[in-house]
Structure 1
Amino acid sequence: MKWKIASLGEVATIERNGIDASDIVPGTEFLGLEHIQIGGEIIGSQRVENGEISSTKFCFGKSHVLYGKLRPYLAKIALPNFEGICSTDILPIAPGPNLDRRYLAYYLRQPSMVDLANSRSTGANLPRLSPKVLETFQIPLPPIAEQRRIAAILDKADAIRRKRKQAIQYTEELLRATFLDMFGDPVTNPKGWDVKTIEDFTRGKNSIKRGPFGGALKKDCFVKNGYLVYEQYHALNNDFEFGRYYIDETKFEEMKAFEVHPGDIIISCSGVYLGKLAIVPEGARRGIINQALLRLTLNKGKMSNLFFVYHFSHENFRSKFFGDNRGSGIPNFPPMSEFKQFPFIVPPIDKQRQFEDRFRKIQACKEQEHKSLIESDNLFNSLLKRAFQGEL
């Protein structure tokens, strides 16, 4: 079946209607990229109080598709059901009368369009897609009734995927509850565990390493293949198959102090993903951390990687640790001198290993759910492709 093809700019409008910070009414809902999950689900918002917003934002409503232009490979493309303001890294798209907004959102979320957006973005460390480039993207236009039929079918298929994701979230909640039951709140320490600082349970020299200055990894350093440059994406998504930037052997030897090894922990040090962390798995590609990461190498005889991850990720610990470093600008990791003095509870290693055993049992259930989610994702992506080829 052949449908008319149009550019996005012909059938929709990217409405960058800015509102000055001084004109924002207290109580207005604010959406940042941190409020939109990969794939587009909105997971919250911030109700603005007096003086909290210091820069211009965009306005949006229930008729818009919200498109995250920063790091477009994350596919943060959302359908809000409320009015509010958003970061200027989110583009409000208003579909015209011949374009259904759910149809548009599904079209932009499909892997081929996400790949296209990523390939057309600019900026090495903070890639962004230009609105003018987005307006050139081609979209098939069946009759509006057919668009709505396609969107309704995709809604049902997407609901199955979301249930799989919820099951995975439940296992993660169970793991956090298990940690709390075994060790208590790591800030108030109701169980009276020993308290130590980070240098007491790392492996000595270079075991606490902040990434290099940004100038050490300029765009002209990168090659098509070689040693991987680990970035915030890896810490955020725990995805060590992903690779975007590489350096050659000469540059790697020059920056070997920043090398990543299996069993290390990498932590995001800036932006909305401040404090997100992941354990580098066995078999991970050899490489270095970039300027936005911190690398830790723990002494496994004193501190379990898994225990550290759940300790560091605990809500109260994060609130205390990062509380003074969020501010109105870009949130940043505290200075290393401060980090090295921060108190951590350190239960006996045998107790930590008991937590690891429980973790593995719960993780086995989580991995089974994850396999089911992958199958659902594959089926959904196949359905997306067929939908926009007129085969549904």
Structure 2
Amino acid sequence: MSWPRKNLGDIVDFLSGFAWKAANFSDDRSGVPIIRIQNVDSVRESDFVYWVDEYDSRFIVKEGDLLLTLSGSFRAEFWTGPDALLNQRIVKITPKSDIDRNWLMHSLRGALAQIEAMGRHALVNNVALSDLRQMQLSVPPLEEQKRIAAILDQADDIRHKRQHAIDRLNQLGQAIFHDMFGDLDANNHNFPIVALDKLIKVQGGYAFKSDLFGEDGDPVIRISNIDGESVDLEKSVKIAPENVGKGRSFTISEGDLLIAMSGATTGKTGTVPKFSGTAYLNQRVGKYIILDNKNISANFLVNLVKSEFYQKRILDQAWGAAQPNVSSNQLVSFAIPLPPICIQNRFSECMNGLSDVKSANYAELERSTSLFASLQHRAFTGQL
């Protein structure tokens, strides 16, 4: 079944975000939060900056408003956070009366690759609003939009519930860590205090030239590829083998623990999944290397760097306000309470069992994601 194709600008209204001056960003939570690109799908209070000066109320975003990012990574999301101010490179999209908001959200998500392809490439891919207005969608009648949206909502809900289960399992790992090792700040188990740089080091990445990145070649891991649990190799930029040059020694392997060392994601970690071929580490990403495996285990290290104890210490040392940075040396520049390796090994046994459960959930998530993708394709080709 074919439906009329219409320009996006004819079926929605756009509001572009304002260029709030970063120099005036504040940590004062009595101000109004600013929605930056990294806040759109991760509404965490700790990631907000605030605006304490005067502002135009038309830039206020409320819960349920549909947002689309137009720079860097491209996402379409309903805002789920508090009333906040819309920043530049994000647009609020309001459907007209004959357009269902849920259908529109699914349509935009289905067209993200098309939107990204409109980008005017520089160091960061940017899409112009004028180009977005001209993008065409096949638009069914309103009742058909609602029917399609209801089916996709249900399939998407299955995906989100499986992801929620995985998130809870990740939280369980930290709960077990705290239960076995106690409050590391208080060191209530009286573990010996050991200088961290005697146990591990952090290797920083290489400053690959961004104009050498392309669509083909070997993955280069940047801070945007680290999500707090894993490393997304699929969405990484690529570099041709002949262009690697001096960066050839900055490789990563399955199981490596990486950390973001710059920007709003400073402190986020991720473990490299199984992959084939070669992948490289970009600047401002660090790779942990264990120097003394007789006294510190990989499982203990992974959960240590995610802990509030560790995160607080590295963020206290970071420089820069809107864009914090931390060095490789700072990541290991303090001492920690170190449990005996026999206790760490018991913790590893617990984490290995938890890992098996997580693997089963990841397999189910992959199946539900494939189902959703199939339904989405059928929906927007008139076959659903």
TM-score class, shorter? 0.7 to 0.9
Once the two structures are TM-superposed, the CA of residue 225 in structure 1 deviates from its matched residue by: 4.0
- 1:389 aligns to 2:346 (yes or no): no
Alignment partner, residue 307 of structure 2: 314
Alignment partner, residue 86 of structure 1: 86
AA partner of residue 32 (structure 1) = R
- 1:158 aligns to 2:150 (yes or no): no
Equivalent pair of 1:168/1:366 in contact (CA under 8 Å): yes
CA distance in 2, matches of 1:374, 1:53: 46
CA distance in 2, matches of 1:244, 1:339: 24
Once the two structures are TM-superposed, the CA of residue 92 in structure 1 deviates from its matched residue by: 0.9
CA distance in 2, matches of 1:154, 1:165: 16
What TM-score, normalized to structure 2?
0.84
What TM-score, normalized to structure 1?
0.83
- 1:356 aligns to 2:345 (yes or no): no
The gaps in structure 2 that reach 5 residues or longer are: none
Mapping of 1:357-376 within 5 angstroms?
357-376=349-368
Equivalent pair of 2:60/2:86 in contact (CA under 8 Å): yes
Q: Which of 302, 307, 311 is 2:295 aligned to?
A: 302
CA distance in 1, matches of 2:271, 2:63: 39
Q: Which of 255, 266, 279 is 2:271 aligned to?
A: 279
CA distance in 1, matches of 2:54, 2:195: 36
Equivalent pair of 2:62/2:82 in contact (CA under 8 Å): yes
Alignment partner, residue 100 of structure 2: 100
Cα 1:343–1:42 change in 2 (3 A) is: same
Alignment partner, residue 33 of structure 1: 37
Deviations 1:236-265 (A, max 9, x none): 262454264333445435223423244432
Alignment partner, residue 219 of structure 2: 228
**Length, aligned pairs only:** 377
Q: Secondary structure at the match of 1:344?
A: strand
AA partner of residue 204 (structure 2) = R
Choose 172-181 or 9-18, whichever is displaced more. 9-18
Alignment partner, residue 2 of structure 2: 2
State the identity as a percent.
24
CA distance in 1, matches of 2:282, 2:53: 31
AA partner of residue 109 (structure 1) = R
Once the two structures are TM-superposed, the CA of residue 140 in structure 1 deviates from its matched residue by: 1.5
- 1:174 aligns to 2:166 (yes or no): no
Cα 1:199–1:319 change in 2 (3 A) is: closer
Once the two structures are TM-superposed, the CA of residue 358 in structure 1 deviates from its matched residue by: 0.6
- 1:211 aligns to 2:215 (yes or no): no
Q: Secondary structure at the match of 2:350?
A: helix
AA partner of residue 135 (structure 2) = F
Equivalent pair of 1:240/1:284 in contact (CA under 8 Å): no
CA distance in 2, matches of 1:53, 1:123: 34
Alignment partner, residue 330 of structure 1: 323
Equivalent pair of 1:35/1:45 in contact (CA under 8 Å): no
Equivalent pair of 2:40/2:79 in contact (CA under 8 Å): no
Once the two structures are TM-superposed, the CA of residue 121 in structure 1 deviates from its matched residue by: 2.6
Deviations 1:296-337 (A, max 9, x none): 21133332222112111113431332135375421222x344
Equivalent pair of 1:79/1:102 in contact (CA under 8 Å): no
Equivalent pair of 1:179/1:355 in contact (CA under 8 Å): yes
Choose 168-177 or 85-94, whichever is displaced more. 85-94
AA partner of residue 88 (structure 1) = Q
Q: Secondary structure at the match of 2:152?
A: helix
Taking only aligned residues, the RMSD between alpha carbons, in angstroms, comes to 3.4
CA distance in 2, matches of 1:354, 1:119: 49
CA distance in 2, matches of 1:284, 1:235: 19
CA distance in 1, matches of 2:67, 2:341: 47
